[in-house]
Chains A and B, each alone.
Chain A
Amino acid sequence: MADNTFIVRIKRRAAPHESVRWEEFEIRYRPHMNVITCLRDIAEKPITRDAKGTTPVSYDANCLEEVCGACAMLINGYPRQACSALVDNLEKPIRLEPLTKFPLVRDLQVDRSVMFENLKRMQCWVPIDGTYAIGPGPRMSPEEQQIGYPLARCITCGNCLEACPKVNSHTQFVGAAIINQVRLFNMHPTGEMHSRARLEAMMGPGGIQDCDNAQNCVKVCPKSIPLTESNNEINRQVLKHAIWDWLNWSQGPTERSEEWKRTGIQK
């Protein structure tokens, strides 16, 4: 092996039903390389270390600056974004594998559409009346914005789901990313109007009760989102919501939510 090269080992699978194979590639080192540049080198010259021809490696990527979320994979066993994984900082040989908690497509490509589906199920949006010019949005203090904005930076990469022991084939746990989004929309002045529906969905299958506080999510989140804080907050909201429902089972929903505001039970 030449001095200025290093090895990348990749777990490959041509299609979901095909068998797994590992391939090793010798890559020429240049300064500032990241895992994507390695994969591009391989695409240009798809020849393994033992001189066998192979196909270019399939993977997802778009922004190349860690803001689109596309390129998540296991790099040396750790779930992270390939575009911001700099070769200089990685132990060699570099080992690349697809995320394991999502259906495999091919090689390093997986299907994370379940996350988008769960955002739909949890009604993660602000219900506006329409796009017509009907004046400004609600006022918001800079302090609230400083809480909301970091939550809104989630890139739906799925690393937090990958790292979570409770996301597996036996549960439908939606994972920290989705819980965090519920928190975001429940705190928005207009989004809050639908907080009930979100909390009820959070109490359903795959909801917050599946979280057993392993706190792996927060360690792998590339955007440093305070995920445990979001989990705690939603736990609290769900609990209050449940107690409130129990205390007010006889009252109609409108009256109830007004009262809810008046008594300041919701944060």
Chain B
Amino acid sequence: MREPRIIVVGGGLAGLMATIRVAESGVPVQLFSVVPVKRSHSVCAQGGINAAKNLKGEGDSTWIHFDDTVYGGDFLANQPIVKGMCEAAPAIIDLLDRMGVMFNRTPEGLLDFRRFGGTLHHRTAFAGATTGQQLLYALDEQVRRFEAEDKVHKFEGWTFLSAVIDESRVCRGICAMDLRTMEVRTFPCDAVIFCTGGIGAIFRQTTNSVACTGMAQSALFQQGVYYANGEFIQVHPTAIPGEDKCRLMSESLRGEGGRVWVPRKAGDNRPARSIPEKERFYFLEEWYPKYGNLVPRDVATRAIYKIVFEEKLSLPGMNAVYLDLTHLPREMLDRKLEGVLEIYQKFVGPDPRDEPMKVFPAMHYTMGGLWVDNERQATNIPGIFAAGECEYQYHGANRLGANSLVSCIYGGMIAGPSAVKYARNLEKGCESVASSVFDAERSRQQETNDALLNQQGTENPITIWKELGDLMVEHVTVVRLNANLEKALRKLDEFSDRFSRVNLADRTQWSNQTLQFTRELGNMLILSKVITLGALARNETRGAHYKPEFPERDDKNWLKTTKASWNGGKIQLDYEPVDISLLPPRPRKY
């Protein structure tokens, strides 16, 4: 039997899990990543990972986890796969534990769980406040073990440029670029699994990492892969505002008892701690008595917007609210949350154990993504699979905190074996594909590079990117008005036009980061249009997608998945029904 050839693009949690599963089945893997995989964005995840282990005597169950997730996502997710994830979650935690993740423990030596948003149960396992880092390292170590056994071959410092697709529209490999030598090369394979993460860079002011550009998703979209629910973008309620990055102050701070408030009196500029209890407005607790500070993110974010922009109760001098931990025991804060508190101290200064933090919402998570079927993590192009934040299927219109890490790992666990199965069943493997197919793709990518390098333009890619971020944050995040979305689309066309005149300040052929960034930017512009068009079309309010002109969820017209496709250079929107076979939609009221 011939040995299938599998490529994984992206080495965050999803990509590493997929890699492990493929290697474990005896099939070798080539693993591509822009950054060394151990530096992938997954390291940023702070708060934890959900699994209904029910170790706190609360009667939690995988069914309740499933219900919370679907309800939290405002019924936009296809339900059977979400149920599958919630059922697999407890075993995923066990697996990670066996891999050596330093999860926090109870006195009995069992895993400890904390509360997170959108649930009433202690369901979130955590390793201090750097859970993503600890999980990523555990998977990275397992992959390194396979690497030592020669089952995994890493291509770190390579960027994916495009898929190699043959005349029968089957994927036969990838085209990638070595970010040092700038060499463009094709790699034949039978199946590729994409795990390239979120698209935060489009919004610039985001909690995401630099490499979260969505370049791969956008390139695939332009090659015919559907992009689903693009308009669903999560804005996290509590981050430190910043020019280069908005640093997240995890939901776990509220899960462990942190409280959000503002002074009741506008412009009150007394030091926070000297403001008496009764003059503080704990608006989340007052408005949402059942969930309090742990309402889902879209709800908390809109509440903060209301406080800041409508009630004008912002903190003096900046758009922000207090996130207060000063009433909590220091020992607990050190043991469970130090990683996050350290970020606040390093980047802002004051010790959040002594002084309430000042936070504001920031773009955080990409619910939409590459369209995949509901069983195999397969896209509509044979041979292309996707898992992790880059695909769309687990979180509906709004993701619950600590559900992403589990969805990434679960998706990777499914994608690995299903790619192997697909490759094994292929009638002819990639080696039988004419070399002209590969040459053509390589030339196409090389020509794009050459054109950018030789072009004598007037536009600076970073300037366009900054303006893009400002535009998207202003019009396509928390509050969406159709007139503004239309304006944004016109602006995006202008940016594309300017992009055609970019001028590269670096034309060298060695570690040319400007060239790479410019190619990312070109791809970001296309995805921005997908997001904005999807938002414009969807005339309702659902989860993170809030339109004051259409303030209600409209199941009659909009209980459907957006499916964008690239039709001869134009974006086309189609829709497909959502599988609601397990839980009938009910109004979402926290």
**Chain A contacts to B: CB under 8 angstroms:** 14-15, 30, 32-34, 36-37, 40, 43-46, 53, 55-56, 58-70, 83-84, 86, 105-106, 109, 112-113, 116, 119-120, 123-128, 130-131, 133-142, 144-146, 148-149, 152-153, 155-156, 185, 188, 190-191
Contact = CB atoms under 8 A, between A and B. Distances in A.
Interface stretch (B240-248, B320-328, B390-398): B240-248
A140 B111 CA distance: 9
A124 B99 CA distance: 11
5 contacts: A34-B244, A60-B35, A133-B94, A142-B105, A149-B102
Interface string B97-122: 11110111111111000000000000
Interface stretch (B63-71, B129-137, B294-302): B129-137
B510 interface: yes
A55 B105 contact: no
Judged by DSSP, the binding face of A is loop
Given A113-B36, A125-B141, A133-B94, A68 B43 contact: yes
A142 B104 contact: yes
Q: Which residue, B100, B110, B133, B517, has most C-beta atoms of chain A within 10 A?
A: B100
A267 to B, nearest CB: 17
Contact of B347 (A55, A60, A65, A131): A65
B243 A30 contact: yes
A190 B44 CA distance: 27
Contacts of A65: 44, 245, 247-248, 343, 347
Contacts of A155: 43, 133
Contacts of B103: 145
A116 B245 contact: no
A191 B142 CA distance: 12
Contact of B505 (A46, A69, A113): A46
Contacts of B245: 64-65, 83
Interface stretch (B74-82, B144-152, B270-278, B353-361): B144-152
Contacts of A119: 141, 144
Contacts of B466: 44
Given A62-B211, A190-B100, A70 B514 contact: no
A126 B39 contact: no
Given A152-B127, A153-B128, A155-B43, 20 more contacts: A44-B462, A58-B513, A62-B35, A63-B39, A63-B41, A105-B180, A125-B141, A126-B99, A126-B138, A128-B142, A137-B100, A140-B105, A141-B105, A142-B104, A142-B106, A145-B103, A148-B102, A149-B104, A149-B134, A191-B100
Contacts of B41: 62-63, 68
Given A131-B95, A133-B95, A149-B102, A125 B145 contact: yes
Contact of A126 (B100, B209, B463): B100
A64 B346 CA distance: 12
Interface string B30-70: 00000110111101100000000000000000000000000
A127 B100 CA distance: 9
Interface in B449-496: 460, 462-463, 466
Contacts of A109: 511
A125 B39 contact: no
A43 B44 contact: no
A139 B130 contact: no
Interface in B317-360: 335, 339, 343, 346-347
Contact of B130 (A43, A59, A67, A131): A67
B43 A66 contact: no
B133 A67 contact: yes
Given A56-B506, A141-B105, A32 B44 contact: no
A58 B147 CA distance: 29
Contact of B98 (A32, A128, A142, A144): A128
Contacts of B39: 62-63, 68-70, 156
Contacts of A120: 144, 147-148
Q: Which 5 A-B pairs have the closest CB atoms?
A: A137-B97, A139-B109, A125-B141, A126-B100, A133-B91
